Amino acid sequence: MKTNVLLIAFFTSLSALVAAPPRSVERVQFTSKKVVALPTREVLQAPDQINLPFNIVVRTNGTFTVNGGKMRALQEGEILGADGMLIKPDGSITLVVDHVTLNRGRVLVVRDGEPVEPNETVLLRDGTTVAPDWKITPPVGSPRRLLDGELFQLEGNSFPARDTITKQNGRMMVQKDGSLLALDPARSIMMNEGTKVLGDGTIITVNGDRATVGEGQIYIVQGVVTRPR
């Protein structure tokens, strides 16, 4: 089984960027008050905008909307991907699309980036219900309990979760199951998809391949796997 691990190195200089309309855009980064299309590293110029999947529209001033919702602002160093995931420089990763999730034991309904902890059962558009006690009941099938880090769009379909591995100020940090964790130098942690992270900066994939995480680099790996419904 091949492990897909995506490495992101944050750019600190715009000297090599070409001011041309972006062509193939996998993600955008807001850096030095400019929107940079990746992987081409082209700067978005007014009056153009970048349209990503899930009806995400990114403008030259670093603001974006999702499905025509409220205007949100990208912060310095943040990366917004075509998968709907927003990655912060500290390695934390969130879904910008409206969704329901379980985070640190709390059911959250997130609309336009604003999380709310519901007091009553939430009904998704496909008939799925999510209760505050973590119970999720699909329209067909048996109820079960949500897992920390699971993501469901408000339409009811599950959304692929993502975790991250990074080094910040010489210390390894991982986001796993919706929580950002610091890893002591002598410790290790196993990610959901099988990658092992060592506190000395080494990662070992399920295939046995080794890599060293550099300062500020971010590896994206598969998060918690949604159980079959």
H/E/C letters for each residue in the chain? CCCCCEEEECCCCCCCCECCCCCCCCEEEEECCEEEEECCCEECCCCCEEEECCCEEEECCCEEEECCCCCEECCCCCEEECCCEEECCCCCEEECCCEEEEECCEEEEEECCEEECCCCCEECCCCCEECCCCEEECCCCCCEECCCCCEEECCCCEECCEEEEEEECCEEEEEECCEEEEECCCCEEECCCCCEEECCCEEECCCCCEEECCCCEEEEEECCCCCCC
Indicate the number of domains in the chain.
3
pLDDT band at 8; cut points 50, 70, 90: low
Same domain, 23 and 59: yes
pLDDT band at 227; cut points 50, 70, 90: low
Give the range of the structural domain holding residue 31, as residue numbers without chain letter: 6-95
Same domain, 129 and 88: no
Same domain, 119 and 168: no
Domain assignment present for 153: yes
Same domain, 69 and 109: no
Instruction: Note the pLDDT of residue 20.
Output: 43
Same domain, 103 and 89: no
Q: Which of the residue ranges 10-19, 34-43, 55-64 would you say has the lowest mean pLDDT?
A: 10-19
- pLDDT, tens digit, 9 for 90 and up, residues 160-204: 999 999 999 999 999 998 889 999 999 999 999 999 999 999 999
Among 52, 75, 95, identify where a domain stops: 95
- pLDDT, tens digit, 9 for 90 and up, residues 195-222: 999 999 999 999 999 999 999 999 999 9
